[in-house]
Amino acid sequence: MSNPQQTMSRRDFFKASGLVAAGAMGGPALLGGLKKARAAVPAPAWDSKFSACDICFNKCGLIARVEDGVVKKLDPNPKFLKSRGMLCARGNAGIAQVYDPDRLKHPLLRKGARGEGKWQRIPWDEALDMAAQKMEEVRKKHTPCGHLFSAGTDLHSQFVSRFAEVYGSFNVTSHESLCLVSGNRAFLDTYGEVPFADVLNSKYIIMAGANRFEALVTPDSMDLMTAIRDHGCKLVTLDPRYTKTAALSHEWHPIRPGTDMAFMLALAHVIISEKLYDPQWVAEKTYGIELLAEHLGPYTPGFAAEQCGIPAEDIARIARELAAAAPASMVYPGRRTSDYEDSTQIRRSFAIVNALLGNWDKPGGLLAARQVGLTGVPYDAPWYDENRDDRIDAHKVPMMFEHEGSFVVTRDAVLNDDPYPIRGWFVYKTNPMGTAPNRKKTIEMMNRMDFVTVVDIAMSDTAWMADLVLPSQSYLERTDPCSGLQGSVACACVVKRDPVIDPLYESRSLFDIIKGIAGRMELGEYFDFTIEEYRKQQTRDIPEALKVMDRDGVYYNPSKVYGIYDGRIYKTLSKKIELYNQRYLQMGLDPMPVYTEPARTPANQFRLVVGRDALTTQSSTANNSLLREFEPSNTLWLNTRAAEGLGIRDGEKVEVSSSVGRQELAAEVTDRIRPDTVYMLSGFNTLSSMQTRSHNNGASINELLEDDYDAVTGNAAMHTTFVTVTRKVA
């Protein structure tokens, strides 16, 4: 034990003697009572205001601590069940985004060549006049569909869709065709809707193509830990990388990339051939079990073992364990599914195993969407006779989501004017230059445009290539519409955002910007309301919600969690869960997933895979000063043995080349990745020099990725690129 008396005496002595440095340095007055150990520390003089995070798309509830109009700290809202009362590292770093000195401050008009980085500051009125005039010109010359609109995940993005529709263009793309549409398609075409995963109550979870402890921190991350630590849930992870999820799993199988379908079909094979499913449930609720049983014949554990590099006995054992824990067991549905040309069919195999487990609508299984209570705000868009018949990316793939589009297919179509020209582009809070594969092609696409307007808070690479850049407000500065959220079993809830600080610089909200442009194009009537009025419309069925949100930062709808489908039919052609999809057959697609072996990695090459960690939201966090402290740059994960073969040591600079691009970065020599696979984080090496932390820093994965796409949805296929890696001689 320490001797408090002694330490106190030394302390007291200095307090009394005046030999204290603080005194010498002009610090605060020295002498409190000598006997008093320490003065009470006062509470901060801050106001606490509710908001919802925006550093990823999850909208975790937060409380902003505001002092003299400045946000000092973002804390989790403990009443926010969806995030289990937490705020992740990215959420905490939101403050660094809002106060980033690199933020856009006023409207900028391109002066030099596109992408040259020469800008002129112009007043808002001039900027809005110009945007409206250029959009009118494009519409006159190329019909309304000659203008493309793209918006990221944001509560104001619905106004971009509305703007596109009243302007007359069908061409709207979201970020989702660079992310999740394949998985959504697969589950929608099996169950009739996209499920949530009841991780919390599950006893056995297979995590494949997802990295839930690391890539995102959502209720599933927290619930997965609770399930493992407190409920005895078993976690089996398939990943070519030793991710943090793999590290915290009971089993980690470094599967050969692109072979997950073989694994899943083998699970189904074992479950059916050993009759490990509930025959009554499957007969009542599913369609096509006999066809599936026949189809699965060749997909034995032995077959899968050869494909996946996982022992056959492990595959068979996992199938039995999974089935034994059913219905409280699952193949985790995952989220980003932009990986292969058969991504939808890969995820269909995930969906089918879940169907055999009989876990739909049950504790520990897959859950249907709950009722949130918000309603849409309808409007009648004008009709333009002189318009095109369809989207520019229509009919290229059979099952595209019309409201999301396909960015990769759209880009090809724009480059070829196929079937018609697009010459204008309005972009809000999404950065295809930094998120779409094959960056050079996106630059070419930019060069096809007569006029590009980008609304964002930072000079993203997409903004960098634009003609007009308009500064938007951050999430802490603006008024947002309501948003309905569901967090698996946690809750069904509604959130909104109100400004917690005044807008910085000359920034305006997207809604105000669109209102300004639309008003100049005689489309003002479609935006003739305030966000407050819009929210009232949204909440007309739950009128108490707005007041409750003011009080708690969130409104909960105590709707049903399980048994939603009791007495209800599935929204599929057979009105059942479709093991066999008849619509696919009609469209010439495989009605059940047929495994095609992915291309073998050529000698001396590596498969480049995409991923994320808890400190990264693609390019939008690349310039975040706080997050960059944890990860100053990105590195190329290179297996130790592979590195030895190439004579590359840890930390050495390497050149990575694919068929479409070349980048340089430091190698991270590690056993945390298969010898045939390499990986790097996205968001780095931006072209924009107004992103000072990511410009000339690390490598751009988008520059390297080839632009294949999922044959069913048009989702980008970002795991099909092979690269060579060579030591960079200094």
Partner 1 sequence: MAQQLAMVIDAAKCIDCKACVAACKVANDVPEDQFRNWIKPTQDVPAPGVLTARAKFQPGACMHCDNPTCVDACPTGATYKDPETGEVVIDDDLCIGCGNCIPACPYHARFRNAAKRKADKCNYCPERRAAGLPPACVDTCPTKARVFGDVNDPESEAGRLYRKNKGRLTRVAARTDTKPNMFYVGDPGDPTWGGEAVVPASMVAMKEAAPLVKGVVALSGLGVLAMLGRQFLAGNDSKEDRDG
Is residue 416 close enough to count as binding partner 1 by CB under 8 A? no
Are residues 441 and 661 in contact, defined by beta-carbon separation less than 8 angstroms? no
Contacting range for partner 1; rule: CB under 8 A; set: 10-18, 438-446, 521-529, 561-569: 10-18
Type of residue numbered 707: D
State the Cα–Cα distance between residues 197 and 683, nearest whole angstrom: 29
Are residues 582 and 591 in contact, defined by beta-carbon separation less than 8 angstroms? yes
Closest CB to partner 1 among 480 and 631? 631
Closest CB to partner 1 among 413 and 667? 667
Q: Kind and range of the H or E element at 74?
A: strand 70-76
State the Cα–Cα distance between residues 291 and 270, nearest whole angstrom: 15
Closest CB to partner 1 among 205 and 717? 205
Is residue 332 close enough to count as binding partner 1 by CB under 8 A? no
Is residue 719 close enough to count as binding partner 1 by CB under 8 A? no
Contacting range for partner 1; rule: CB under 8 A; set: 21-29, 139-147, 386-394, 528-536: 21-29
Q: How far is the CB of 473 from partner 1 (least distance, A)?
A: 21
Interface with partner 1 (CB under 8 A), residue from 64, 81, 95, 493: 95
DSSP string for 350-382: HHHHHHHHT-BTSTTSEEPPPP-----------
Tell which residue, 350, 593, 314, 373, has the closest CA to residue 494: 373
Closest CB to partner 1 among 520 and 612? 612
Here the tokens at position 559 are: 């709707």
Closest CB to partner 1 among 2 and 280? 2
Q: How far is the CB of 730 from partner 1 (least distance, A)?
A: 25
Closest CB to partner 1 among 213 and 360? 213
Is residue 335 close enough to count as binding partner 1 by CB under 8 A? no
Alpha-carbon radius of gyration of the chain: 27
Is residue 15 close enough to count as binding partner 1 by CB under 8 A? yes
Q: How far is the CB of 693 from partner 1 (least distance, A)?
A: 12
Q: For residue 81, how many other CB atoms are within 10 A of its CB?
A: 18
Q: 602-631: which residues touch partner 1 (CB under 8 A)?
A: 614-615, 625-627, 629-630
Stated length of the chain = 730
Q: Coil, strand, or helix at residue 240? A: coil
Interface with partner 1 (CB under 8 A), residue from 144, 146, 254, 598: 254
Tell which residue, 243, 88, 184, 158, has the closest CA to residue 617: 88
Tell which residue, 676, 702, 706, 682, has the closest CA to residue 258: 676
Is residue 84 close enough to count as binding partner 1 by CB under 8 A? yes
Pattern 628-647, partner 1, x by CB under 8 A: -xx-----------------
Q: Provide the strand spans (E) within 136-276.
A: 147-151, 172-174, 196-197, 204-208, 234-238, 251-253
Q: How far is the CB of 247 from partner 1 (least distance, A)?
A: 4
Q: 219-238: which residues touch partner 1 (CB under 8 A)?
A: 221-222, 225-226, 229
Q: How far is the CB of 8 from partner 1 (least distance, A)?
A: 7
Q: 658-697: which residues touch partner 1 (CB under 8 A)?
A: 670-672
Q: 202-221: which residues touch partner 1 (CB under 8 A)?
A: 213-214, 217, 221
Is residue 19 close enough to count as binding partner 1 by CB under 8 A? yes
Q: Kind and range of the H or E element at 127?
A: helix 124-142
Here the tokens at position 354 are: 């879940």
Contacting range for partner 1; rule: CB under 8 A; set: 153-161, 250-258, 358-366, 473-481: 250-258
Interface with partner 1 (CB under 8 A), residue from 53, 64, 86, 325: 86
Q: 286-315: which residues touch partner 1 (CB under 8 A)?
A: 311, 314
Q: 104-143: which residues touch partner 1 (CB under 8 A)?
A: none
Is residue 244 close enough to count as binding partner 1 by CB under 8 A? yes
Q: How far is the CB of 225 from partner 1 (least distance, A)?
A: 5
State the Cα–Cα distance between residues 432 and 430, nearest whole angstrom: 6
DSSP string for 302-367: HHHHHHHSS-HHHHHHHHHHHHHHTTSEEE---S---S-TTHHHHHHHHHHHHHHHT-BTSTTSEE
Is residue 280 close enough to count as binding partner 1 by CB under 8 A? no
Q: For residue 183, how many other CB atoms are within 10 A of its CB?
A: 28
Q: 180-199: which residues touch partner 1 (CB under 8 A)?
A: none
Q: 490-549: which residues touch partner 1 (CB under 8 A)?
A: none
